[in-house]
């Protein structure tokens, strides 16, 4: 018998994010000659809830040593700036192109 007790704190199903917005983000990365890849995130994000109501996507930047969602998470400033440039371009494309 296992003496540990699990308490379910939330019950949110996985959701498919917007292909159109993901493609737009890829074009924005290409515009800035940034390496990119499409991926499926298994992490829980606000996007899981928002995507039920509005088209949603996420832009991730690499963490040093791949540490993500932990106290040791850290990201190089250049990756943060690059992520911001990709987001800026993606928004510009949605507004004007």
Packing angle, helices 19-31 and 77-96, rounded to 10? 120
Closest-CA residue to 89 (of 25, 44, 3): 25
Which pair of structure tokens corresponds to residue 12? Answer: 């949110």
Spatial separation of the C-alpha atoms in residues 44 and 84, rounded to whole Å = 22
Which pair of structure tokens corresponds to residue 75? Answer: 């990201």
- Look up the pTM and report it: 0.81
Instruction: Give the per-residue pLDDT at 2.
Output: 61
Instruction: Give the per-residue pLDDT at 39.
Output: 87
69-78 pLDDT, tens digit per residue, is 889 999 999 9
């Amino acid at each position: 018998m296992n003496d540990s007790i699990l308490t379910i704190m939330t019950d949110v199903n996985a959701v498919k994010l917007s292909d159109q917005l993901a493609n737009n983000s890829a074009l924005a990365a290409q515009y800035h000659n940034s390496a990119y890849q499409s991926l499926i995130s298994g992490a829980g994000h606000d996007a899981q809830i928002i995507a039920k109501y509005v088209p949603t996507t996420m832009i991730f930047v690499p963490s040093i040593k791949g540490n993500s969602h932990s106290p040791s998470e850290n990201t190089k400033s250049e990756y943060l700036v690059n992520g911001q440039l990709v987001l800026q371009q993606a928004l510009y494309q949605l507004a004007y192109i």
